[in-house]
Amino acid sequence: MSISTEIVRSVCRPYRKLEMKRRLKGATATYEADWVDITDYVIDWPTIERGVSDDHVVGDFILPKLSVTLENRRRAFEDYQSPFSLWYGLPTRYLTMFKITHGLYAAADGYDNTEVQGGTFYGVLFDEPVYSDDNTIKISIGDVLQVFKLYAADLMTDTSSGLTSAIVQRFIDLALNGVSVFDKFFQIAESITSGAITVTSPATDGKTIFEKIAEYSTVEGYMPEVSASGGFEWKARSANGAVVWEFVGGALSPDPVYGESIMSIDQIEDGSNYIFNSVNIEYADDTYAKATRSWTPGDSSSYDLYGERLFDYVLHDLNQDNATSFAEQILSNNNAPHRRYKLTTRYIPHLNTFERVKVRYEGIPSNYDSVFGQARFGVNRFTEANGPIKINNRECKILSQRVDLNTFACEFYLQEV
């Protein structure tokens, strides 16, 4: 059985689990060995969002922060000083690790309670819980990547130059007095895609490790993420692999494999708002590497069609050659529009950011009542209506996705490739 098989059924039985690992006392402040299931306490489930934000420009990505409401009638979620607390006798609740897993029970031969996993989210308690006298407590679970915001980049003593990926690896491997800072936050070893650009003298500008990783992600066109297995990943934003899902909906017949999954097409953008065809990278004070092309009015170039769209970025970790490479990469990736689609779908929990998908949709013409009064009698416009939207088997990559664990509806933001 596979999650794809379960997704397309007309009656599904989803499961959701919230588990936690509390920090133990000790010099290394590691976590307890086993995940503790606290699903029964959950009153309101979060929406899990991953990928890049809707209005993202180059390098931007979502750092999810989930809000979960828990039953607190007996004060189980008080801080560690309370004997009623689940943290009693342990250190602070702060940075307690949480794992949310969700998916569908297999329905083969009747429900047999076999879990077919769909998605996993790893987070840490990052903000103060919000108490309420209505017997609940609201906790904010930040993506595990938030922990990189807690430490300054200049904790890293090796500031020699190297590929961006090598520097990111150094951050992940950071140890103080021989004890790893970040190992305990990740369940498996990291996966870091090799970079192409060398940076010099990193971590000397007072930024956090998170800010530096975000900068290098922009430079390489990469993105950090936590995998479904709980490991740190640094991966390319390009569409990867073969098509893993086909979204079908509207007047079209359901696909024999992928069924019908689209609830609505919420937005279609031509992508002209995200064009950058003139790039300035400041790699030293008032010193720039530029990427642009010559053009002539009327030549149908990006400049002729959309005007000059400027992208500015400051990163003093680069020399001139590497800054130029970075600028050229931004230019080549962003000087033409790519169509984008925002869809609301049924529960499709297993897809990953930047995976390749297809969209097929044919809108159903509105009934006359909804548009009557906008048209002229005698003009035969209604009878020939063929639907307001047609998306003809377009291949896209997933920019972002939202899974609402209360309603099981999903949102996908896609960009044509």
**Is 158 a binder of other proteins (CB under 8 A)?**
no
Among 3, 58, 63, 90, binds other proteins (CB under 8 A): 90
**Minimum distance from CB of 5 to other proteins (Å)?**
15
Q: Which of 310, 262, 255 has the alpha carbon at shortest distance from 282?
A: 310
Minimum CB separation from other proteins for residue 11, in Å?
5
Q: Which is nearer to other proteins, 83 or 178 (CB)?
A: 83
94 binds other proteins, rule: CB under 8 A: no
Q: Kindly state the helix (H) or strand (E) to which residue 66 belongs, with its residue range.
A: strand 65-71
Beta strands per DSSP E along 89-146 = 97-105, 115-125, 130-131, 136-143
Burial class from Cβ neighbours inside 10 Å (0-12, 13-18, 19+) for residue 370 reads exposed
CB of 236 to other proteins, least distance (A): 32
3 scored as a contact of other proteins (CB under 8 A): no
- Of 139-147, 233-241, 255-263, 351-359, the segment contacting other proteins by CB under 8 A is 255-263
Angle at 54 between CA 42 and CA 388, to 5 degrees: 105
Is residue 71 a contact point for other proteins (CB under 8 A)? Answer: yes
Stretch that binds other proteins, among 166-174, 193-201, 310-318, 406-414 (CB under 8 A): 406-414
Type of residue numbered 213 = I
Does 251 sit near other proteins (CB under 8 A)? yes
- CA distance linking residue 229 with residue 278, whole number of Å: 40
Give the interface segment with other proteins, choosing from 141-149, 176-184, 226-234, 407-415 (CB under 8 A).
Answer: 407-415
Residue 165 parent element (H or E): helix 164-172
Query: Is-contact 35 115, C-beta < 8 A?
Result: no
| One-letter amino acid for residue 116 of the chain | V
Q: Which of 3, 4, 5, 14 binds other proteins (CB under 8 A)?
A: 14
Q: Which long-range contacts (CB under 8 A, 24 or more apart) does 132-136 make?
A: 132/72, 135/71, 135/72, 135/73, 136/43, 136/69, 136/70, 136/71, 136/72
End-to-end CA distance of the chain: 30
- Cβ proximity to other proteins: between 142 and 249 the closer is 249
Contacts of other proteins in 320-379 (CB under 8 A): 346-347, 361, 364
Site for other proteins, rule CB under 8 A: 10-16, 22, 34, 36-37, 39-41, 71-76, 83-90, 249-251, 260-265, 346-347, 361, 364, 406-409
